[in-house]
Amino acid sequence: MSTPEALDRLLQERQADRLPSVAAAVVRKGETMWSNAVGIANYDEGREATPGTQYRIGSITKTFTATAIMQLRDAGALDLDDRLGQHVEGIADGSPTIRRMLAHVSGLQREVGEMFVDGTSPTEDDLEVAFALDPAQAHHYSNLAFGLLGRVVAAKSGLPYTDYVDEKIIRPLGLARTTWRSQEPKAQGYLVDEYARTVWVEPETDLGGVAAMGQLWSTVEDLAVWATFLARGADGVLDTKTIDEMWFPQVMYYPDDWVLAWGLGLMLHNLNGTIFGGHGGAMAGHLAGVFVHRKTQIGAAALTNSGTRGNMELFAISLAEKAMDLWPEPIDPWRPEADPPADVRALLGRWWSEGNEFVFWWERGALQAKVVGTPPGRGETTFERDGDGWRASVGRERGERLRVDGDRLIWSGYAFTRAQEPFKA
């Protein structure tokens, strides 16, 4: 089966499971490798869906809100460990921290009042801090938290939240079909009757003053660009170092099982040891998902105009997983390194510390180390020069210094010797 046919088949199977339409795209290192759509965008008009059809993306909006917060942090306007009340007037100093709000461990209640019960569109003035749990007790998803983060963006930027995201994120990335109000061609949202196999037309809910939690519309083509951004950042929007922070797990959804974690505004799915970061979305008549594998920069977006049964999160991940099989990373041929500096040669080889054996080597112009016997890609460290010594820049003990002390190495407070030795008495 050829590459497009393999992905087309997955798309057809997903739509055939009682979804009006499904659109999807796969991206690899910034290049859209495949996109397609199957089904009907609007039954009344008889219009078929295409990859350029706009769908509601719901809570994927939260990744835009998180990006805005990180931009303001990088600009020095706030700190992630500041309390909400430091930046939004009328909120007590005991309010949750911005970091906890981004990771859904603030304890704030899930929704803004009962807006999804009575169908109202709240204003910013309707946002009140209300807790369901004590802070940092457990993961507790909160739309209210992200509505309040939208207020932080507005307060610290001096712009309405939506204007800020348009100016600082959407336009710089060229997301021309990502908008706060629907634009044609768009998909009509439906609810599929589970037993009669008919469909109801769903309304286009306006989130009003809480747009930051889920107002955006987009296409799979735009979301392919967004997936690449979530993997590596973009000049003038967020740098790679800040993206790395967003990917760092803050809380496990299931404390006893590493299945799903949350970073700073990102969902982190663990699929058989492979981590996909992104977000899902759900609004009346629409389900959405965009996820990317950061190392390969292979990601996928999936959208449907059904409010039930779609699970576009896992479908997007399954497309990305398939794409990783179809477009595997090239295997670089080995080539000998240039001679390392003389002071590096003295560090190379095997060392012992705490009863463990380490190996130090020189590769691609950098000093490397790992515990002997650990699987490839695990427990490795890259060092960079730091004055008269070294500092771990990537991997194990990142940030800790390494220095030479006679015939020993001292790294992160431990001695490394050429032969195995007990601790000093």
Let me know if residue 141 belongs to a domain. Answer: yes
The region, left, alpha or beta by phi > 0 then psi within -120 to 50, assigned to residue 280 is beta
Residue 93: predicted pLDDT: 65
Residues sharing a CB contact under 8 Å with residue 188, sequence separation 6 or more, in sequence order: 41, 42, 43, 44, 201, 285, 305
Let me know if residue 300 belongs to a domain. Answer: yes
In terms of pLDDT, which residue wins out, 116 or 381? Answer: 381
Instruction: Give the integer Cα–Cα distance in Å for 85 and 110.
Output: 19
Per-residue pLDDT of 252-293, as tens digits, reads 999 888 999 999 999 999 998 899 999 999 999 999 999 999
Residue 425: predicted pLDDT: 60
Let me know if residue 87 belongs to a domain. Answer: yes
Shared domain for 293 and 358, answered yes or no, is no
Shared domain for 318 and 348, answered yes or no, is no
- CA-derived radius of gyration, the chain: 24
Residue 378: predicted pLDDT: 79
State the chain's maximal CA–CA distance in angstroms: 83
Residues sharing a CB contact under 8 Å with residue 352, sequence separation 6 or more, in sequence order: 358, 416, 417, 418, 419, 420, 421
Let me know if residue 423 belongs to a domain. Answer: no
* Among 260, 225, 227, 62, residue whose Cα is nearest residue 147: 62
Mean pLDDT across the stretch 154-182? 98
Let me know if residue 39 belongs to a domain. Answer: yes
Contact 190, 285 (CB under 8 A): yes
Contact 393, 383 (CB under 8 A): yes
Burial status of residue 89 (CB atoms within 10 A of its CB: 0-12, 13-18, 19 or more): exposed
Query: 200 pairs with which residues across the strands?
Result: 191
Q: Which of 326, 352, 373 is the last residue of a domain?
A: 326
Per-residue pLDDT of 11-30, as tens digits, reads 999 999 999 999 999 999 99
At residue 372, the 3 state secondary structure works out as: coil
> What is the domain-level CATH number for residue 213?
3.40.710.10
Residue 117: predicted pLDDT: 84
Q: Which residue type occupies 50?
A: T
Shared domain for 357 and 248, answered yes or no, is no
Shared domain for 233 and 194, answered yes or no, is yes
Query: 31 pairs with which residues across the strands?
Result: 28
β-pairing, 414-416 vs 408-411, is antiparallel
Per-residue pLDDT of 15-73, as tens digits, reads 999 999 999 999 999 999 999 999 999 999 999 999 999 999 999 999 999 999 999 99
Contact 171, 178 (CB under 8 A): no
From the CB of residue 12, how many other CB atoms can be counted at a distance below 10 Å? 13
Listing DSSP states for 294-353 in one string gives TTTTEEEEEEESBSSS--HHHHHHHHHHHHHHHSPPP-PPP-PPPPPPHHHHTT-EEEEE
Query: 278 pairs with which residues across the strands?
Result: 267, 291
State the total domains in the chain. 2
Shared domain for 247 and 348, answered yes or no, is no
At residue 279, the 3 state secondary structure works out as: strand
Let me know if residue 349 belongs to a domain. Answer: yes
Label residue 1 by pLDDT band (50, 70, 90).
Answer: very low
Is the predicted pLDDT of residue 400 greater than 80, yes or no? Answer: yes
Residues sharing a CB contact under 8 Å with residue 130, sequence separation 6 or more, in sequence order: 108, 109, 144
Is the predicted pLDDT of residue 115 greater than 70, yes or no? Answer: yes
Shared domain for 352 and 296, answered yes or no, is no
Let me know if residue 336 belongs to a domain. Answer: no
Instruction: Find where tokens 């003035």 sit.
Output: 125
Residues sharing a CB contact under 8 Å with residue 239, sequence separation 6 or more, in sequence order: 74, 233
Shared domain for 37 and 137, answered yes or no, is yes
Instruction: Find where tokens 């809570």 sit.
Output: 59
Per-residue pLDDT of 94-110, as tens digits, reads 789 999 999 999 999 99
Among 104-108, 121-125, 150-154, 219-223, name the one with the lowest average pLDDT.
Answer: 121-125
- Which phi and psi angles does 195 have, rounded to 5°? -110, -40
Label residue 225 by pLDDT band (50, 70, 90).
Answer: very high
In the DSSP assignment, the letter for residue 168 is I
Residue 414: predicted pLDDT: 94
Per-residue pLDDT of 66-92, as tens digits, reads 999 999 999 999 999 999 999 998 887
Instruction: Give the integer Cα–Cα distance in Å for 145 and 74.
Output: 21
Q: Which of 302, 326, 350 is the last residue of a domain?
A: 326
Shared domain for 137 and 252, answered yes or no, is yes
Q: Which of 299, 326, 353 is the last residue of a domain?
A: 326
Shared domain for 216 and 142, answered yes or no, is yes
Listing DSSP states for 23-58 in one string gives EEEEEETTEEEEEEEEEEEETTTTEEP-TT-BEE-G
Shared domain for 89 and 63, answered yes or no, is yes
- pTM above 0.85? yes
Residue 379: predicted pLDDT: 82
- H/E segment holding residue 192: strand 190-192
**Which range of residues forms the domain containing residue 156?**
3-326
Mean pLDDT across the stretch 183-196? 96
Shared domain for 271 and 395, answered yes or no, is no
Q: What is the mean pLDDT of the chain?
A: 94
